[in-house]
């Protein structure tokens, strides 16, 4: 029992600082005529690159360029640049085997960003630090 708990703790610790390769892929959420897409590259050179866009019908509503970067000290941070603007940095605050959370309490919105997997689905959530103004997405792999 103690050995199993130690092994579990070591495997979670071993993930710290690793780029979330489970995020890689093309993801789509469709609700009625509204859609949201995210695409994430494989980790390479300490960086994952993502792009996202949302729309309604055939009209693009917004887009964003994102990066998850591993710093020299091993820490991870999410860089989000909506509509080509300056990137806002959200340091990682929690990492698990298939989930990761980032936060920047000085940003207006969002202040928290979380991604996690539930089976084949990718889940995402943004919110204020106190959990208010939560928005959530359930992405399926594109083409399904």
Secondary structure, 3-state, the chain: CHHHHHHHHHHHHHHCCCCCHHHCEEEEEEECCEEEEEEECCCECCEEEEEEEEEECCEEEEEEEEEEEECCCCCEEEEEEECCCCCEEEEEEEECCCEEEEECCCCCCCCEEEEEEECCEEEEEEECCCCCCCEEEEEEECCC
For the segment(s) 2-141, the CATH number from 3.90.480.10, 3.40.50.720, 2.40.128.20, 3.60.150.10 is 2.40.128.20
Residue 3 has pLDDT above 70, yes or no: no
Distance of CA 75 to the CA centre of its chain: 15
105 phi and psi angles, rounded to 5 deg: -65, -15
Q: What is the pLDDT of residues 44-57, one digit of tens each?
A: 999 999 999 999 99
Q: What is the pLDDT of residues 90-135, one digit of tens each?
A: 999 999 999 999 999 999 999 999 999 999 999 999 999 999 999 9
Q: Report cis status (omega within 30 of 0) of the bond before 110.
A: yes
- Taking all residues of the chain, what is their mean pLDDT, rounded to a whole number? 90
Question: Which residue is it, tokens 């591993």?
Answer: 70
Q: What is the pLDDT of residues 24-33, one digit of tens each?
A: 999 999 999 9
Give the residue extent of every domain in the chain. Answer: 2-141
Q: What is the pTM of this model?
A: 0.87
């Amino acid at each position: 029992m103690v050995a199993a708990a130690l092994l579990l703790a070591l495997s979670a610790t071993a993930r710290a600082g690793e780029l979330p390769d489970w995020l890689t892929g093309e993801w789509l959420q469709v609700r009625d005529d509204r859609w949201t897409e995210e695409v994430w590259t494989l980790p390479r050179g300490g960086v994952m690159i993502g792009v996202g866009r949302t729309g309604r019908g055939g009209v693009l509503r917004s887009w964003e360029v994102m990066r998850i970067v591993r710093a020299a000290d091993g820490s991870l941070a999410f860089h989000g640049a909506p509509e080509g603007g300056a990137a806002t940095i959200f340091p990682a605050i929690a990492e698990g085997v298939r989930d990761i959370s980032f936060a920047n309490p000085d940003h207006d919105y969002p202040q928290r960003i979380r991604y996690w997997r539930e089976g084949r689905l990718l889940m995402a959530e943004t919110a204020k630090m106190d959990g208010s103004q939560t928005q959530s997405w359930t992405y399926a792999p594109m083409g399904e």
